[in-house]
Structure 1
């Protein structure tokens, strides 16, 4: 992979929950505590204020953040980072919504979303088993409908020219995620895609015939399906997350196999959000990168 782009790659662990934040508040707080324990309690030390300016996270700001997450009001937002100027570092993002009292522009398929970012150095230092273990710990706290862990390109905080290069590289390296936060606006209970770690909840896992039915459809030698509590599962595609390189013939067959199995339940952007640097045709092509 282009070394100039490597600074823009990390690992993301993300969960979608098609329910109201009021039902999730304590679960999200437990997941955040687990993440902070794993990365170090003094790692996440910046947050954006109401105007979007970065502020140091002192004790009073941390307490306000906790109260915000534990508040069961209709919409809840929280972002914590290690360094405001770092392209891919340690980062926690959460957006909680209400399905009972949606905003005027909310889609009924909107979901709460929790994202936990790790820099590539974390994966290199501790190894993939540690990262997978953390993902499972986080998953244990969250009543997810779907989720995943993947290498990820970060387009935020990047110069325009770099963003356009990333948009090109994503087709060469299909194992690197490009999803943006607004996917949660209409994902509902669908599955975001086929990833290194793919978390499946209800109703999709049930419609696949549970872990036994899913396992029977997956034949790649390094693919494993593990049953999780509460009728959920995790699919792991090999020991390490792979970027792939279609120019070198690395088209990630295990990822393609899982995508074909999940195709009837996969998320596709409804086209209501226009990105001039990633127009609908390109976005659709990227969503189907393992299918076409």
Structure 2
């Protein structure tokens, strides 16, 4: 059992909270948004019923402003995700605070796979939980909830991990010295950025995580469930309907404090198997892209 999680508070130059400790759960679906909108909406409603009432109080309106999430706002988001047809992308963000990163957030990026505006898009759905939720309810509860949220989603890749929770990758606006020190010490942390990777991930993976969800075509490229069972004999594998799989790398999420212990072997083993399929930026890279390329392969031996 692992309950020793780092407390993280990243602030920008204006002292706004842009990153905090928590758990991220994210799915990447190689589907056009109109194919999966109703299933996405049902997953969002399941999440809302699982978290404390009133935890989501704000949403991004059509003009890009954060506005209070009232009944009209819920209907607007329902139309955006599950009802409105047509081409183009669909974005939705539900937040705990209009100005700072909170523990509870939903991000949805509905993509068109043939979009000329994205390199390799995937419809993407992300949920976050504060560490307090994990400690109150336990890891088994969170794993069961993750399975319920994943139940109808035709993902190629998904994951749940202890993370630097942020709003739309706002952790990048914080103190980079502090962030790099955290990542160097804790390779089990995730630095999530659902909006960024929804445009480029395609059917790639992002690495090995506490909960690693694999679907088609990625699962087939890895040889299927039986091949993974043989390659990971001491790891929990749970086959799911529709040729999908959940790999669990421990009873609890693990930030992996390398000052106290080595990287658990099951993390390195899965990371090695996924390495040929992990997303990588190419070409002339900026600082963010170089950091992400290094980070996604941090667990490979």
Task: Note if 1:288 corresponds to 2:260.
Answer: no
SS at match of 1:37: helix
Aligned runs of 1:35-50 on 2, under 5 Å? 35-40=47-52, 42-50=54-62
Task: Note if 1:162 corresponds to 2:175.
Answer: yes
Tell me which residue corresponds to 1:134.
Answer: 145
Offset of residue 165 of structure 1 = 1.1
Offset of residue 207 of structure 1 = 2.8
Structure 1 portions without partners, runs of 5+: none
SS at match of 1:246: coil
Do the aligned residues in 2 keep the contact of 1:87 with 1:158 (CA within 8 Å)?
no
Tell me which residue corresponds to 1:255.
Answer: 267
Q: State how far apart, in whole Å, the 2-side matches of 1:113 and 1:271 are.
A: 25
Tell me which residue corresponds to 1:22.
Answer: 34
Task: Say which is worse superposed, 23-32 or 203-212, in terms of deviation.
Answer: 203-212
Q: State how far apart, in whole Å, the 1-side matches of 2:53 and 2:283 are.
A: 39
Cα 1:271–1:83 shift into 2, 3 Å: farther
Q: Deviations over 1:111-147 (max 9, x none)?
A: 1110011111100100001111111001102111110
Cα 1:159–1:140 shift into 2, 3 Å: closer
Q: State how far apart, in whole Å, the 2-side matches of 1:272 and 1:140 are.
A: 39
- How does the TM-score come out when normalised to structure 1? 0.89
Offset of residue 161 of structure 1 = 5.0
Offset of residue 22 of structure 1 = 1.0
Offset of residue 97 of structure 1 = 1.2
Aligned runs of 1:91-102 on 2, under 5 Å? 91-100=105-114, 102=115
Structure 2 portions without partners, runs of 5+: 11-18
Do the aligned residues in 2 keep the contact of 1:9 with 1:88 (CA within 8 Å)?
no
Cα 1:215–1:159 shift into 2, 3 Å: closer
Q: State how far apart, in whole Å, the 2-side matches of 1:187 and 1:45 are.
A: 30
Tell me which residue corresponds to 2:45.
Answer: 33
What is the aligned counterpart of 1:226 among 225, 229, 238?
A: 238
Do the aligned residues in 2 keep the contact of 1:14 with 1:115 (CA within 8 Å)?
yes
Task: Note if 1:200 corresponds to 2:218.
Answer: no
- How does the TM-score come out when normalised to structure 2? 0.87
Q: State how far apart, in whole Å, the 2-side matches of 1:152 and 1:268 are.
A: 20
Q: State how far apart, in whole Å, the 2-side matches of 1:135 and 1:177 are.
A: 17
